[in-house]
Chains A and B, each alone.
Chain A
């Protein structure tokens, strides 16, 4: 009896802790998601929005090449950014964790994430000026005699990727660093004692143990990058449209909420698939 009462109290307490977060999630995720899904089944006729309860918008997405291309552009940019960011962030995190004295590591991390402190929009516009024909990069290269004519850097996909990588390298550095410092040094010593050389220690011990950090950072990079509107809009020069830009066009210009909702659902499906892929790979699913 007393045990049951204690269990009930514990349950109530647990619910007390969980309820605010649950209500928040229901109010600001579940309900908006259901609303968005419902709107995606509506149709825009003329300037009116009619609840048609059909999949015409989804069919239209796959039929219209310029809409479908938005998804492919987003995926190409996102995979490129994620790959480059991992390649750049790993050595940086390694150097901070392994080569920088412990008392300076915090300072090194602060330096690494310093760009986070500036506005995202301002940073993107700053890149536009850096990459411009008469910007820092082109002027430096011309001054050094490496090139004679300025390179076309601004308003290109390259500019978008550079802007993204600048941001996401910081994020990945943090997640990988957190993984590296948690790894007991004995593992590497044991591998070395067993005859492994430096590369073998890294390949067979360090890399597998830091994969969770890489995958968490890569997943966050994927999610934030594929859903980002600002960077491709500012740096890409509208020379191609990523999916969030296509969504914004539906909202801001056409007031076509059903198509915007459809494209948003498709974006969410892509992100969900990415999560499933990462979760399985990391064996995070609960069975």
Chain B
């Protein structure tokens, strides 16, 4: 979902020594404090102490977390690090193949994972399994769709994607500043499946993007988008979803989200063990903890953002209010009416990003 750009294999050796130095320094500081350490390259939801501390206590280990945004940035960090610096990697589900091609991820014994407990639609074997070998497992998922204030807009209007580029709510719309899901959403609004989205579709998508920008008040990252919606600065957030509104469900019950009839984008994050990890057993234990019902419930309701746990058994560890905010009971329909992110090649990705910046500069 919100993890920026899926680009980025860079051979920038100039940066490698600096990154190695910093990582070394970090490792030295921590090594003085813990019996054992685990280094994980993660998304921000894993940095919630409520998620990490139970694992640290159980295994008497210090988990060093490095947060990143965007697969490109994550892979760059890995490239600029020394082999063995990282033990666990959280990555966008659609990008697992890239990490495997780069030789970053280790094979995980299939029987070590609770695959049968995972919602079948998000097992994503075509992404997490390469040549019959499992390299990662889906840990959390959700949707980039339309969030809104149900007391200020007509919820019926939100069921049609075309509302985001119409004049009806002009000046009351915020757009989540991440080109992939929003371009994917616009594509869905035009009847283009994300898997089929190509360069030929870009002129039509650009036209709608520009119209959407004209009708919108702001284009912002997670915090400013969430703030704008929560403070009433805007009434609609394009690209939002449960990860924006669920965390506010108690304070702001007026905020809601919906998947329009044309569909929504589904994000999914996977977790895997690094190939060069010097502690593969401990790393696997961490993966298993994250996938356990307890770990899944904590991850789903992380303070950074909420999302559906991949493990269906996590429901037993969630309260009714939490499940309601996550739309637990609606998942069957939502999963059917949602598509994965577009996976552009390098040229199309560059074209999409140029279109996005052009839109911002309109």
Q: State the CA gap A66–B209 with chains docked (Å).
A: 15
0/1 per residue, A133-176, Cβ < 8 Å to B? 11000000000000000001011000000000000000000000
Nearest A residue to B345, CB-CB: A46
- Among residues 17 to 52 in chain A, which have CB atoms less than 8 Å away from a CB atom of chain B? 35, 39, 46-49
A128 touches B14 (CB 8 A): no
B7 touches A234 (CB 8 A): no
Q: Which residues of B contact A48 (CB under 8 A)?
A: 9-11
Interface presence of A241 (CB below 8 A): yes
Q: State the CA gap A49–B76 with chains docked (Å).
A: 12
Q: Within the complex, which residue of A65, A69, A128, A238 is in contact with B219, where a contact is CB–CB below 8 Å?
A: A238
Q: State the CA gap A65–B361 with chains docked (Å).
A: 9
Q: How far is the CB of B224 from chain A (nearest CB, A)?
A: 6
B70 touches A252 (CB 8 A): yes
Nearest B residue to A46, CB-CB: B346
A252 touches B231 (CB 8 A): no
Q: How far is the CB of B94 from chain A (nearest CB, A)?
A: 15
Q: Which residues of A contact B358 (CB under 8 A)?
A: 65-66
B14 touches A39 (CB 8 A): yes
B361 touches A66 (CB 8 A): yes
Number of residues on chain A facing chain B (CB within 8 A): 36
Interface presence of B82 (CB below 8 A): no
Nearest A residue to B14, CB-CB: A35
Which of B19-27, B237-245, B325-333, B347-355 contacts its partner?
B347-355
Interface presence of B217 (CB below 8 A): yes
Q: Which 3 A-B pairs have the closest CB atoms?
A: A255-B8, A237-B218, A46-B346
Q: How far is the CB of A137 from chain B (nearest CB, A)?
A: 13
Q: Which residues of A contact B7 (CB under 8 A)?
A: 47, 253-256
Q: State the CA gap A256–B357 with chains docked (Å).
A: 14
Q: How far is the CB of B341 from chain A (nearest CB, A)?
A: 14
Q: State the CA gap A264–B350 with chains docked (Å).
A: 20
Interface presence of A249 (CB below 8 A): yes
B346 touches A240 (CB 8 A): no
* Interface-centre pick from A35, A64, A66, A125 (highest chain B CB count, 10 A): A66
A133 touches B177 (CB 8 A): no
Q: Which residues of B contact A238 (CB under 8 A)?
A: 177, 218-220, 360
Q: Inter-chain contact count A-B, CB under 8 Å?
A: 105
Q: How far is the CB of B28 from chain A (nearest CB, A)?
A: 21
Interface presence of B179 (CB below 8 A): yes
0/1 per residue, A231-247, Cβ < 8 Å to B? 00110011111000010
Q: How far is the CB of B333 from chain A (nearest CB, A)?
A: 32
Nearest A residue to B15, CB-CB: A257
0/1 per residue, B3-38, Cβ < 8 Å to A? 011011111101000000000000000000000000
Q: How far is the CB of A285 from chain B (nearest CB, A)?
A: 34
B5 touches A253 (CB 8 A): yes
Interface presence of B69 (CB below 8 A): yes
Interface presence of A132 (CB below 8 A): yes
Interface presence of B117 (CB below 8 A): no
A155 touches B5 (CB 8 A): no
A252 touches B4 (CB 8 A): yes
Mind listing 7 A-B residue pairs with CB under 8 Å? A65-B358, A133-B232, A155-B228, A238-B220, A240-B360, A249-B353, A254-B349
Nearest B residue to A155, CB-CB: B218
A66 touches B354 (CB 8 A): yes
Interface presence of B227 (CB below 8 A): yes
Number of residues on chain B facing chain A (CB within 8 A): 40
Having A238-B218, A252-B70, one finds 12 other A-B pairs with CB under 8 Å, namely A47-B7, A49-B10, A66-B354, A129-B231, A233-B221, A239-B219, A240-B361, A252-B5, A254-B350, A255-B5, A256-B7, A257-B10
B179 touches A128 (CB 8 A): no
Q: How far is the CB of A244 from chain B (nearest CB, A)?
A: 14
Interface presence of A70 (CB below 8 A): yes
Q: Within the complex, which residue of A35, A129, A239, A257 is in contact with B218, where a contact is CB–CB below 8 Å?
A: A239
0/1 per residue, B206-247, Cβ < 8 Å to A? 000000000001111101100110011100000000000000
A39 touches B73 (CB 8 A): no
* Interface-centre pick from A128, A152, A155 (highest chain B CB count, 10 A): A155
Q: State the CA gap A66–B221 with chains docked (Å).
A: 20
Q: State the CA gap A154–B220 with chains docked (Å).
A: 12
Q: State the CA gap A120–B353 with chains docked (Å).
A: 29
Q: Within the complex, which residue of A70, A246, A249, A252 is in contact with B69, where a contact is CB–CB below 8 Å?
A: A252
Q: State the CA gap A65–B357 with chains docked (Å).
A: 10
- Among residues 181 to 238 in chain A, which have CB atoms less than 8 Å away from a CB atom of chain B? 233-234, 237-238
Q: How far is the CB of B139 from chain A (nearest CB, A)?
A: 23
Interface presence of B72 (CB below 8 A): yes
Q: State the CA gap A255–B10 with chains docked (Å).
A: 7
A237 touches B232 (CB 8 A): no
- Among residues 300 to 352 in chain B, which have CB atoms less than 8 Å away from a CB atom of chain A? 345-347, 349-350
Q: Which residues of A contact B76 (CB under 8 A)?
A: 255
- Among residues 70 to 94 in chain B, which have CB atoms less than 8 Å away from a CB atom of chain A? 70, 72-73, 76
Q: State the CA gap A67–B360 with chains docked (Å).
A: 11
Known contacts A66-B361, A253-B5, A253-B72, A128 near B217 by CB under 8 Å: no
A253 touches B219 (CB 8 A): no
Q: How far is the CB of A152 from chain B (nearest CB, A)?
A: 8
Q: How far is the CB of B218 from chain A (nearest CB, A)?
A: 3
A49 touches B11 (CB 8 A): yes
Q: How far is the CB of B210 from chain A (nearest CB, A)?
A: 12
Q: Which residues of A contact B354 (CB under 8 A)?
A: 64, 66
Q: How far is the CB of A207 from chain B (nearest CB, A)?
A: 39
Q: Which residues of A contact B347 (CB under 8 A)?
A: 46
